[in-house]
Amino acid sequence: MSDGSVAPEPGLGALTLAVPRGALFEETLDRLDALGIATAEVRDNPRRLLFSGPTLGAGVERIVTMRPSDVPTYVEHGAADLGFTGKDVLLEAPSREVYELLDLGYGGCRMVVAARAGDDAMEESLRRLGVARIATKYPGIATRHFAATGRQAEIVEVKGSVELAPLTGLVDAIVDLTATGKTLVENGLEVREEIVGSTARLIANPVAHKLKAAAIDALVTSLRGLGR
């Protein structure tokens, strides 16, 4: 269609989309708007999690919103046909049985190792003890990175502001996601290593990818047509 909207074949099941709250939220909704999917109700109700009805349009029956890390879970178990999430989330849980369909190109950031500026605590711990203490919200990514580079790391999983951990002496360094690096600098930290880049990805439930192939292919084609 010339306006870029999705028009699945009649009779096919309408789609349920999992949309992450947080950093990817607004730009994901902007992409859906561009496809002719109505998102005004989603934007106007920050506490509401489930949106449904024919008014969404473009072959979408429901939009469910959640924490970014929960998107692959809902898609894997079929509670959503398609989901929008960061590559970092997929890398942290590589065993999830979902199909990665498209690199959407937005939400760019980097997974990095960072430590106190001018401090060699991590290097010193590796020299003296043979192991460094690393705080992170991404224990899987951190563990694999240090193992792949031949270093031993004691991973300390944190849920809050990971930047605090090296400042209090809890750990030698952190593994975290950063877009601009501004928060690191403001807390006296600096990037020591870059692990991997991350952008928003479109993922699909394997069963839905077969049963709703035409609808999903149409949406993917339209998203690809928006460019990056």
Q: Same domain for 101 and 114?
A: no
Q: What is the pLDDT of residue 27?
A: 96
Residue 4, in any domain of the structure: no
pTM of the full predicted structure? 0.87
How far is Cα 104 from Cα 200, in angstroms, rounded to an integer?
5
Q: Same domain for 103 and 203?
A: yes
Q: Same domain for 204 and 192?
A: no
CATH number of the CATH domain containing 75:
3.40.190.10
Which tens digit of pLDDT belongs to each residue from 6-23? 443 433 468 999 999 999
Which tens digit of pLDDT belongs to each residue from 98-131? 999 999 999 999 999 999 999 899 999 999 999 9
CA dist 219 → 19, 83, 101, 172 (Å): 15, 12, 11, 45
Q: What is the pLDDT of residue 4?
A: 43
What values do phi and psi take at 208, rounded to 5? -60, -35
The domain total for the chain is 2
Place of tokens 């928006």: 226
Q: Same domain for 67 and 138?
A: no
Q: Same domain for 103 and 205?
A: yes
Q: Same domain for 84 and 130?
A: no
Q: Which residues constitute the domain of residue 146?
A: 109-198
Q: What is the pLDDT of residue 3?
A: 42
Q: Same domain for 93 and 166?
A: no
Per DSSP, the residues of 103-146 read E---S-EEEEEEEETT--HHHHHHHHTS-EEEEES-HHHHHHHH
